[in-house]
Amino acid sequence: MNVSWLFPPIQILSVDPAKGGNDRFIVDHIKWGQGKVDEKERDYPFMYLQEQYDLKIEGSTDEESYHLAMVKKVMELANKLGIPPFNVAVDATSLDAIGSFFHTIWDRQILLVDFNGKPTDRIVMDELDREGKPKKCSEIFDRRVSELWFIGRKFLLKRQIAGLRVDVAKELSERQYQDKNSKKCVETKDAFRDRHKGQSCDLGDTLWIALELLRERFGAVPGLNKVQRNPWSDIFPSNSVDKPKPLEIKTLHTAPKFSTPKESTGSKGELYRWLNATHRN
């Protein structure tokens, strides 16, 4: 898959730390911006899964040293890619100390994403009430995790996500949902694990952690900020780029001053000389 960006994209990291059992330590390198995918323009800004890492921690004995090793591993990757802490989001859902480790050891600008709790009051543009006003997430979803997964689905339907691997797409499609008390509800992680021999939905969670960072800090909204296509883009060569001109000092020529011709003596020569002198010939 080839992606060409209209402008330099925003680069972020999303982190789903391993919390024991069959949990994987997943880190996504995501890019967000406007451009083309395989030479086909996207109508809206989109996120592109540049790379996905399944990191391994070896040699750690106690929980504290294990968390420390995870933080240092992500720090190393972020520094290598040139991604600042403000563009990093970490799953801090469980009650363990992994979120505070990222804040205290690395930087407090890192966004901690909690899948538990109530949904937010953010507006959903394509969900309208009886009066035709956009609904809030808290009116549509039963809890926070349902909001994160269903909003992700809206981005998918608007073709604002690209570069998904087969295993990621498969995992996204396998989490079940239902309507509960007139609100959308995704199944619990325990229910998902029971159906998948203990395997958690880490790949999907990591993708939605990235999306939450884009929503929270960069204003990403499904179906908003439609790209205005330049009608001349097909006429000019694809490699035409406006470049700044070199600094050049020029002499400024002022316009010649106007004057009135002398009273005619009947000679055309005087008139021609006046026309030449005032650059009117």
In a domain, 234, yes or no: no
Q: Which of 171, 6, 189, 18 is nearest to 96 (CA)?
A: 18
Beta strands in 174-237 (DSSP E): 177-180, 183-186
CB distance 138 to 120 below 8 Å: yes
In a domain, 252, yes or no: no
Tell me what pLDDT residue 255 has.
Answer: 42
Tell me what pLDDT residue 254 has.
Answer: 42
Tell me what pLDDT residue 257 has.
Answer: 45
CATH number of residue 49's parent domain: 3.30.420.240
Of all helices (H) and strands (E), which one includes residue 215?
helix 202-218
Tell me the three state secondary structure of residue 45: coil
In a domain, 197, yes or no: yes
Tell me the three state secondary structure of residue 46: strand
CB distance 54 to 61 below 8 Å: no
In a domain, 253, yes or no: no
pTM of the model: 0.77
Tell me what pLDDT residue 246 has.
Answer: 43
Rounded distance between C-alpha atoms, residue 261 and residue 88, angstroms: 77
Rounded distance between C-alpha atoms, residue 200 and residue 189, angstroms: 7
Number of domains in the chain: 1
Rounded distance between C-alpha atoms, residue 46 and residue 220, angstroms: 9
Q: Which of 220, 234, 224, 168 is nearest to 9 (CA)?
A: 220
Tell me what pLDDT residue 237 has.
Answer: 44
Rounded distance between C-alpha atoms, residue 91 and residue 211, angstroms: 12
pLDDT along the chain (281 residues), means of 10: 88 90 86 90 92 83 82 93 97 79 94 92 88 91 94 94 91 90 90 86 93 95 76 47 39 44 62 65 51
User: Containing domain of residue 106, as a range?
Assistant: 3-218
Tell me what pLDDT residue 71 has.
Answer: 92
In a domain, 214, yes or no: yes
Residue holding tokens 């005087």?
270
In a domain, 81, yes or no: yes
